[in-house]
Amino acid sequence: MSGWRAALVAVAVGAVILAAGFVFGRDEGPSVSQPDDGGGVALACAPGLESACRVVAAELGVPYRTWSVGSGVPDRTVVVAPAADLPDGLEAGPVILRSPIVIGAWRQRALVLLSRCGALDFECVAGALGMSWSEIGGSPEWGDVKLGLADPAASEEGMLAWSAAASLADPENMALSITLVASSDGRLASDMVLFGDSRADLAITTEAALAGQMANAPGRGGRIEVFYPVSSPWVEYVAAGRGRGVSSLKERLSAPELEPLWAAAGVRSAVHQVSTLLDGLGQPGSVDPAPDSPSRGRLLTDWKEVR
């Protein structure tokens, strides 16, 4: 892909997002849209990848179908999602994309936390939960510290974000501060932007989901800043599908010429060296292992206690 073409990708991503308003990421439960694709193979993605996948689908000349966890996958459709979220019986290919769990915060709030902590990491967030902004150097008008999370029982992205957040503070402070819960990372990011800083001051979620809404943030709560802990879980995405032609599309999704397109939309390749990412994104920390099965059970129990 030529340099000028890659440079235009970020503009294209923002234009697509703005043109569609806040539809991206606003999954309302299991559903699959099925436009008339003329019999061709279609692409569908986890909600947090939707804005990036729409751009990639347009580049490849294939239809895009919205998809959410719990939905079936139509014949001749390739879905890109965490393997744990795929329907039973759908064979997953290798990991092709990755996204770290990060902290996204409205700029004014982030500056206060940076002044207090020196670095905006999970420990800094832990110290602010259950407190008012006036107690930690912010404006009294901001009220209490408000945290957004995706439901860990509803998606792998939500589970991994909760695994990073669950030990941050005691359950009482956590319960006081969680004011925005969404069914997916994509919806969490879109709701954070849609409601501005009235619903959430910061969120712990995937880098990809936040990247998909950064163009919408100005005019709502200002600018969303993304912060990278020293280490955090990373969400891994695979491509899966069934029916004639899906193997070809699965291979095309990890082609080297598409890497700049994914990167410019804020999604990291798991196959190729990542080129210049969307403006506002940075260098992630090291990878924490995903929780094992017993740990996931405990995490869901902890979630019920704070919700």
- Kindly report, residue by residue over 61-103, the tens digit of the pLDDT: 999 999 999 999 999 999 999 999 999 888 788 999 999 999 9
Predicted pLDDT at 25 = 41
When pLDDT is cut at 50, 70 and 90, the band that residue 34 belongs to is very low
Do 59 and 261 form a contact (C-beta atoms < 8 A)?
Answer: yes
Count the Cβ atoms, other than its own, within 10 Å of residue 229: 22
Instruction: Tell me: pLDDT of 242 over 50.
Output: yes
DSSP readout, 184-211?
Answer: SHHHHHHHHHHHGGGT-SEEEEEHHHHH
When pLDDT is cut at 50, 70 and 90, the band that residue 306 belongs to is very high
The alpha carbon of 78 is separated from its chain's Cα centroid by a whole number of angstroms, namely 19
pLDDT digit string (tens) for 245-287?
899 999 999 999 999 999 999 999 999 999 889 999 999 999 9
Query: What class does CATH assign to 99-232+286-306?
Result: alpha beta
Q: What is the mean pLDDT of residues 161-185?
A: 94
pLDDT digit string (tens) for 227-241?
999 999 999 999 999
Residues in the chain: 307
Encoded tokens for 303: 């979630």
Residue 167: closest CA among 212, 221, 129, 211: 129
| Residue 189 neighbours by CB under 8 Å, 6+ apart | 25, 48, 104, 203, 205, 209, 210, 212, 213
What percent of the chain is predicted at pLDDT more than 90? 78
Predicted pLDDT at 221 = 65
Instruction: Tell me: pLDDT of 28 over 80.
Output: no
DSSP readout, the chain?
Answer: --HHHHHHHHHHHHHHHHHTTT-TT---SS-B-----TT--EEEE-GGGHHHHHHHHHHHT--EEEB-TT----TTEEEEE-GGGSPTT--EEEEEEEEEEEEEEEHHHHHHHHHHHSS-SHHHHHHHTTSBGGGGTS-GGG-B--EEEE-TTT-HHHHHHHHHHTTSS-HHHHHHHEEEEESSHHHHHHHHHHHGGGT-SEEEEEHHHHHTTGGG-TTTTS-EEEE--SEEEEEEEEEEEESTTHHHHHHHHT-GGGHHHHHHTT-EESSS---PPPTT-----EEEPPP-HHHHHHHHHHHHHH-
Instruction: Tell me: pLDDT of 36 over 90.
Output: no
Q: What is the mean pLDDT of residues 57-61?
A: 96
Domain ranges of the chain: 3-98+236-269, 99-232+286-306
Question: Which range among 34-43, 201-210, 296-305 shows the weakest confidence by mean pLDDT?
Answer: 34-43
Question: Which range among 43-47, 239-243, 292-296 shows the weakest confidence by mean pLDDT?
Answer: 239-243
pLDDT digit string (tens) for 208-220?
999 999 999 887 7
CA angle, 10 then 11 then 16, to 5°: 100
Query: What class does CATH assign to 3-98+236-269?
Result: alpha beta
Q: Are strands 77-81 and 42-45 parallel, antiparallel or unpaired?
A: parallel
Q: What is the model's pTM?
A: 0.87
Q: Do domains 3-98+236-269 and 99-232+286-306 have the same CATH topology?
A: yes
C-alpha–C-alpha distance, residues 178 and 146, integer Å:
6
CA atoms within 13 A on the CB side of 10: 16
Of residues 15 and 115, more confidently modeled = 115
Q: Please, what is the average pLDDT of the chain?
A: 88
